[in-house]
Amino acid sequence: MGEDWIENAVCQAADAEDLFVQGTAQNQAKAICTGCSVRTRCLAYALDNRIEYGIWGGMTERERRRLLRRKPAVASWRPLLESVQQPRTGRSLTPVP
């Protein structure tokens, strides 16, 4: 998967340290992803590459690990994540397919 989506990520305007936090600060970091047009691609990238740290696509590392354990046979996350998006807004119906 290409990484051209990174240029359109909302977090490009944020301080990178804001996305690598722990505890309750993670909720604020996740809020940065709200409404981002490339959120699904970002999350798919993090899942496909097993990125262990930081907020990616609106999910914490713990949330991503849980998802990976629930769906170990998924080879590429992007098609699966895009298939659960709400048609009218492009926002995900559920964070965990």
**DSSP state letters, 3-20:** -GGGGG-GGGGS-GGGGS
- The stretch 25-52 carries a mean pLDDT of 96
**Phi (first) and psi of residue 58, to 5 degrees:** 80, 15
Q: What is the pLDDT of residue 86?
A: 52
What are the pLDDT digits (tens) for 43-94? 999 999 999 999 999 999 999 999 999 999 999 999 999 998 755 455 554 4
Which amino acid, 8?
A: N
Alpha-carbon distance of 32 to 34, in angstroms, equals 6
Q: What is the pLDDT of residue 2?
A: 65
Alpha-carbon distance of 59 to 51, in angstroms, equals 11
Residue 97: pLDDT over 70: no
Helix (H, G, I), strand (E, B) or coil at 52: coil
The model carries a pTM of 0.82
What are the pLDDT digits (tens) for 3-25? 789 999 999 999 989 999 999 99
